[in-house]
Structure 1
Amino acid sequence: MSRSDTSRNDDLIEIEQLLAKYAVTMTKGDTDGVVSVFTPDGTYSAFGEIYPLDRFPQLVAAAPKGLFLTGTALIDLDGDGGEDTATGTQPLCFIDHTQQDMRIGYYDDTYVRTDDGWRLRTRAMTFIRRNGEHNSGRPHAISFTGE
């Protein structure tokens, strides 16, 4: 295996572990853990809105509780493994803990290598509806106090 292949594989494993941390910390309700996988200018998009990092504690608190079961992400490293950006798509099946209702969909992500390693810069949720439609959800599903 060449050095560039090794670097590429190391990058992929690091990003996969980052995404695993997101799923596990969401499942455990660990807001600090969720915030830690994003860059300081990171955003999450769903429900017709884009939420900046400073809104994550409220967003995580308002999110339903349960199991965030994610699949292996399809990741496209820009360049030959030595670049500092990547994009990816990761499937998701969320199971609510109260009724065990499921939500399915996928995340479209952008990643950037920082001094602390790879981080999510953007994460956008697309839901797959029972009728087969793929969309980001209804606008204003979550309201924040003071708005």
Structure 2
Amino acid sequence: MSPTTDLVEIEQLLARYAVAMTRGDIDHVLKVFTPDGTYSAFGDTYPLDEFPALVAAAPKGLFLVGTPAIDLTGDTATGTQPLCFVEHSEHAMRIGYYNDTYVRTDQGWRLRTRSMTFIRRSGTHDSGRPHAFTRS
């Protein structure tokens, strides 16, 4: 494949993530990850089997993402994608960005890791409050 084709496929993968998160469709969210994929936030890393509980505990709303900056290296890539999350009931916003790793699989490009960084009003960039989510 050409680098342009790879970039478009990764961008579409990330668009599917944002749309599925907005719709609360955890099954489709999980499909954008590799089976060994992880999500990091709140001072911890979560394997995919814990991701549904993490999403269930999170506020619901619009996941508005920007075009990712992606660096391709053969069948792997890294990237950063800006995010503005707008909570549905009060329209409170959270802003930040994802740092990602991607891998080409037999099913196409998939997220291997996604790590959330929040941007605070103070200008601080952090992974969130460690106790914002409690594991069961």
TM range (shorter): over 0.9
State the number of aligned residues: 136
1:134 counterpart (101, 116, 125)? 125
Does the alignment pair 1:76 with 2:71?
Answer: yes
Which piece of structure 1 moves more, 37-46 or 52-61? 52-61
Overall identity of the aligned pairs, in %:
73
Aligned to 1:96: 87
Q: Does 1:46 align with 2:41?
A: yes
Equivalent-residue separation in structure 2 for 1:62 and 1:33 (angstroms) = 18
Looking at structure 1, the residues matched to 112 and 41 of structure 2 have their Cα atoms a distance apart, in angstroms, of 15
Query: What are the equivalent positions in structure 2 for 1:1-147 lying under 5 Å apart?
Result: 7-78=2-73, 83-145=74-136
Deviating 4+ runs (over 6 angstroms) = none
CA drift at 1:56: 1.2
Tell me, in whole angstroms, the C-alpha distance in 2 between the residues paired with 1:33 and 1:59.
15
| Richer in strand (by share) | 2
SS of equivalent residue, structure 1 residue 138: coil
Q: 1:126·1:134 contact (CA, 8 Å) conserved in 2? A: yes
TM-score w.r.t. the length of structure 1 is: 0.91
Which residue type is aligned with residue 118 of structure 1? W
What amino acid sits opposite 1:11 in the alignment?
D
Residue identity matched to 1:67: L
- Relative to the length of structure 2, the TM-score reads 0.98
In the TM superposition, residue 59 of structure 1 has moved relative to its aligned partner by 1.2
Contact residue 93 and residue 105 of structure 1 kept, 8 A: yes
Quote how far apart the aligned CAs of 1:60 are. 1.4
Q: Which has the larger radius of gyration?
A: 1
Task: Check conservation: 1:49, 1:140, Cα contact below 8 A.
Answer: no
Secondary structure of the residue aligned to 2:2 is: helix
Q: Deviations over 1:29-66 (max 9, x none)?
A: 00001100000000000000100010111111111100
Looking at structure 2, the residues matched to 105 and 86 of structure 1 have their Cα atoms a distance apart, in angstroms, of 20
Q: Offset of 1:129 from its aligned partner?
A: 0.2
